[in-house]
Each structure stands twice: as C-alpha cells, then as structure tokens.
Amino acid sequence: MSSSDCRPDYPLSSDLVKRLKSALDARDEEAVSTVICTQVRHVDTVIELANDDWMKDPAVQLPPGVLLGNQDPSPLLLDQVSRDASVVLETDKEELSGLWTLEYKRELTSPLCIAAARGHTASVRHLLGRGANPDASPGGRGPLHEACLGAHTACAQLLLQHRADPDLLSAEGLAPLHLCRTAASLGCAQALLEHGASVHRVGGAGRDTPLHVAAQHGLDEHARLYLGRGARVDARNGRGETALSAACGTALRPDEQERGLRLCALLLRHGAAANARDEDERSPLHKACGHARPSLALLLLQHGADPAAVDYGGSSPLARVLQAASCAPQAASARTVQALLNHGSPTVWPDAFPKVLKTCAPAPAVVEVLFNSYPQLRVSESWRKVIPAEVFQAHQPFYRSLLALAGSPRSLKHLCRCAIRRQLGTKGFLAPLLPLPEALHSYLLLEPEGVLH
C-alpha cells in the first residue's frame, strides 16, 4: 500500500499530532520523547506530520507558487492529476521556457522513525524493547535510513542489533549506505558494513553506488572504507559516471576542496581511469576545469588525463574553464588554464580570441596566460569594444598593455619562451628542470605578470 493510500492511526488533525508538532517546532526534545514513547497506542503506529493533498478537491484554490512560468496545463491534464493525487508532473526548466509543477506532498512516519531521525537513542532503545519493527517505513524511509541521514551512529547500531535490514531500500530505491552523506555519518557506514551491507548496491534514480555518493559529497574517509570492502572503483552509475567523474563534477565549498582532492587522489591510487568518459563524453578533467579547480586538474593531468579530449558538445577542458572564468575566482581560473597549457592543451583558434576576450574580460590573468601561449597574435583596436567599460577601468594597466600591441611584434624574450615551450611540447611542466634562473622558470610556465610586453 502506498503512503497516499495509507490511513494513519494519528492523522494531521489529531490532538497527539498537534502536541508532537508543537514539541518538534519548539525543539523540545524531552517533550518529543514523551509523546512518541508514552502517548501512542502502539509502537508501530502511523503518524501523519504533513499533508498537502489539495488536489483531492478539484475546486480548491491552488497554493501560491504551484504553477510557475507561462505555460498553463490543459484542463484535461488537471483532471487526470486530480484523479491521482500522488502524481508529480515536472518539466525541465533548462529545456522549456515555461515551467509548471503540480506536486502532492504527504509525510507519514512512525515513533521509531522520529526517534531515529532525531538521534534519541534512549527512545529508540525503549521502542525496540517494546517490539517496534526496525524496518517499518510508512513514509517510504525506515528508521535505519533516518538514523543514517542524521548521522546518528548509536541509533543505527541499536537498530542493526535488533536485526534491521542493512540493505533495506526506501521508496526512492536508496539503501541506508546511500544516505551516509556527511563526514559525521562515517560511524553509521562502518556499522552498516559490519552488519552485512553491500558496497555494490545500486540505488535511486541515478543508480549510484555508495562510492558514488561518497564521491559526490567529497567524503574521502567513506570512500577509503568502501574501497577497503571491495567497492569497484570504476563502476558506472546511470549517467555513465565513475566515482572519480562524480567527484570532479561536484561543486565543493572552498573549505571542502582539500578533502575532495584527497578523495580523487585516493581513487586514482586505486586504479580509477583518469580518462573515463560519461554519457556526454565528458572526462573527469572536463568537470574539474568546469569548476576551475586547478589542483584537481593538475592531479588528473599528472595521472595521464588528456587535455585535448572533446565532449559531445565540442568543448575541450580549456573551453570549459574559459566558460567558467567570468564567475570563478580569477586566480583559480588562471592556474587551471596554466596547468592545461603546460601539459600540452591545444590553445584557442586565433580568430576566436576576441570571443574569449569578451567572455573572460573580468579575469585579465586568464586572458594574459592564454595570450602568452601564442608566439604572435594579431591584436586589433576593435578588441576595445568587447571589453566592458567598467572592466577596462578596473584593469587599465593590463588592457592598455594588450591594446598597445596592435601592429607591434612581441618581445624577443617572449619569442624565446615560445620556442622553448614548442621544444618541450606536451611536457611544458618540466621547464623548472632546465638550468635557468628561477625567474625564467616562472616565465616559461606562463606565470601572469599583470601586463604584456
């Protein structure tokens, strides 16, 4: 029976639910524990905490925000949805100019699910002692799912000791390991594996393995745990991604990026393919460059990632970082471009440079690194028109030096740099091994100076 058909023992309008919701809203943990442990008729009772079932009455006024965009659904479609309140119709707003969504939300739960979700170890022990079913999931997720999602290790261990199924699938097809999504949930993951959970379990619409989930959230310790239990490092999910590909495609906060880098290094040490392509023919390097992560891009290049790879959209890793340069930190974008060019990435077709200038103008360091990868590039006075006035004003020394090269040859020093780089070919990163002053090493590696000569 689906949750939409289930008759709760305590519906939303009941006094018990009102008391429970009041305690939850007030974050009164003692009151929550009292309600679920002493005021329900039986331990596996079904409690309704939310119900947005507005579609059961076709005449009801629609909630604000339910219909979005300028594309109205047909009366026939509305009638169809009114007959099935659990239907969710959603269009992809990237594919259609109008977006409209009809969504029905109902939240059913149980005392054990509430206790596990909030980390009430004593309440979980009490309910299990009274015979609560550790696998009951009236709302689609069981108590073990809730404990893992909240990273409550003690609750997870109690449930597993009472024979909770470590591989129980939720309504979304997710096992508890798929819900170990934070660093704090490592203890839950360890407990699940000790009780027989599978590291190979595929789950959810994305058909991710637990290793994919760890990769998507930058969880290096989880990944180490799963690999130690035999997780396949190059298993593919429903989008054709390996764990390395998923890790490189995740936008991490600055404080998470070091952990994400350790994770990718771990996967590579375990044999992850640096050039594995997903369903869009994007490699891990494409994704790292799309997020302007220079340390990660360099790591992949050091493990043989192909800087010339092209995805289905015709973009190379260099194109991906240039597309992101206007919104990514300038230093990160410039260092990513440097890493690619120093490992033999093809540069941009000269005639397309004005387009790059238009896109990357707010990041002059990116423009400088790329410009210096050409022995000679014909500069036109018309380039001034593609640089926004406020950007030109903010970076006058650089852009004046760029436009001053119109009709002028580059310096002999620069031409020598290009000749040496041409000899090094795809191994430009070896420039520091040459018997030259350190300042020239930086010059050969295209370190930006802030002006052009």
Question: What confidence score (pLDDT) does residue 104 get?
Answer: 57
Q: What whole-number distance in Å separates Cα of residue 225 and Cα of residue 213?
A: 13
Q: What whole-number distance in Å separates Cα of residue 4 and Cα of residue 104?
A: 9
Contact 415, 426 (CB under 8 A): no
Question: What confidence score (pLDDT) does residue 255 get?
Answer: 86
Write down the mean pLDDT value for the chain: 88
Does this chain's domain 1-58+104-161 share its CATH topology with 283-453?
yes
CB atoms within 10 A of CB 88: 10
Question: What confidence score (pLDDT) does residue 225 get?
Answer: 98
pLDDT tens sequence across 339-386: 999 999 999 999 999 999 999 999 999 999 999 999 999 999 999 999
The third-level CATH classification (topology) of the domain covering 283-453 is 1.25.40
pLDDT tens sequence across 280-313: 999 999 999 999 999 999 999 999 999 999 999 9
* pTM for the whole structure: 0.85
Strand partners, 381: none
Residue corresponding to tokens 């471009």: 337
Indicate if the alpha-carbon torsion angle 7, 8, 10, 11 is positive or negative: negative
Query: What distance lies between CA 373 and its chain's CA centroid?
Result: 32
Q: What number is the average pLDDT over the span 237-253? A: 95
Question: What confidence score (pLDDT) does residue 61 get?
Answer: 52
HSE-CB for 98 with a 13 A CA cutoff: 8
Residue corresponding to tokens 């594309």: 71
Q: Confidence band (pLDDT; 50, 70, 90) for 4? A: low
Question: What confidence score (pLDDT) does residue 97 get?
Answer: 39
Q: Confidence band (pLDDT; 50, 70, 90) for 253? A: confident
Q: What number is the average pLDDT over the span 6-12? A: 87
Q: What whole-number distance in Å separates Cα of residue 266 and Cα of residue 272?
A: 9
Question: What confidence score (pLDDT) does residue 414 get?
Answer: 97
Which range among 19-28, 146-155, 266-275 shows the weakest confidence by mean pLDDT? 19-28
Predicted confidence (pLDDT) at residue 76 exceeds the cutoff of 60: no
Strand duo 47-51 + 106-109: pairing: antiparallel
Predicted confidence (pLDDT) at residue 173 exceeds the cutoff of 70: yes
Predicted confidence (pLDDT) at residue 226 exceeds the cutoff of 90: yes
Predicted confidence (pLDDT) at residue 90 exceeds the cutoff of 60: no
Here the tokens at position 434 are 């040459």
Predicted confidence (pLDDT) at residue 114 exceeds the cutoff of 50: yes
Q: What number is the average pLDDT over the span 328-347? A: 96
Q: What number is the average pLDDT over the span 422-451? A: 94
Strands in 251-329 per DSSP E: none
Q: What whole-number distance in Å separates Cα of residue 425 and Cα of residue 414?
A: 16
Question: What confidence score (pLDDT) does residue 41 get?
Answer: 87
Predicted confidence (pLDDT) at residue 57 exceeds the cutoff of 50: no
Q: What number is the average pLDDT over the span 70-93? A: 37
Contact 51, 17 (CB under 8 A): no
CATH of domain 1-58+104-161: 1.25.40.20
Q: What number is the average pLDDT over the span 156-184? A: 97
Q: What number is the average pLDDT over the span 150-169? A: 98
Categorise residue 140: left if φ over 0, alpha if ψ from -120 to 50, beta otherwise. left
End-to-end CA distance of the chain: 74
Q: What whole-number distance in Å separates Cα of residue 301 and Cα of residue 285?
A: 8
Residue corresponding to tokens 């490592």: 186
Collect all residues with Cβ–Cβ distance below 8 Å to 385 and sequence separation of at least 6: none
Q: What whole-number distance in Å separates Cα of residue 197 and Cα of residue 194?
A: 7
Position 428, amino acid: G
Can you spell out the DSSP letters for 197-235? --TT--BTTTTB-HHHHHHHTT-HHHHHHHHHTT--TT-
Q: What number is the average pLDDT over the span 179-185? A: 97
Question: What confidence score (pLDDT) does residue 68 get?
Answer: 43
**Domain ranges across the chain:** 1-58+104-161, 283-453
Can you spell out the DSSP letters for 110-174? -HHHHHHHTT-HHHHHHHHHTT--TT--TTSS-HHHHHHHTT-HHHHHHHHHTT--TT---TTS-
Predicted confidence (pLDDT) at residue 85 exceeds the cutoff of 70: no
Query: What distance lies between CA 123 and its chain's CA centroid?
Result: 35
Q: Is 179 helix (H, G, I), strand (E, B) or coil?
A: helix
Strand partners, 90: 101
Here the tokens at position 83 are 């007959």
Q: Is 51 helix (H, G, I), strand (E, B) or coil?
A: strand
Question: What confidence score (pLDDT) does residue 5 get?
Answer: 60
Question: What confidence score (pLDDT) does residue 7 get?
Answer: 81
Predicted confidence (pLDDT) at residue 40 exceeds the cutoff of 80: yes
Q: How far is CA 285 from CA 77, 289, 315, 325, in A?
A: 44, 6, 12, 16
Q: What percent of the chain has pLDDT over 90?
A: 81
Contact 78, 58 (CB under 8 A): yes
Q: Confidence band (pLDDT; 50, 70, 90) for 53? A: low
Collect all residues with Cβ–Cβ distance below 8 Å to 255 and sequence separation of at least 6: none
Q: What whole-number distance in Å separates Cα of residue 272 and Cα of residue 212?
A: 12
- How buried is 19 (Cβ within 10 angstroms: 0-12 exposed, 13-18 middle, 19+ buried)? middle
Q: What percent of the chain has pLDDT over 70?
A: 87
pLDDT tens sequence across 387-436: 999 999 999 999 999 999 998 999 999 999 999 999 999 999 999 999 99
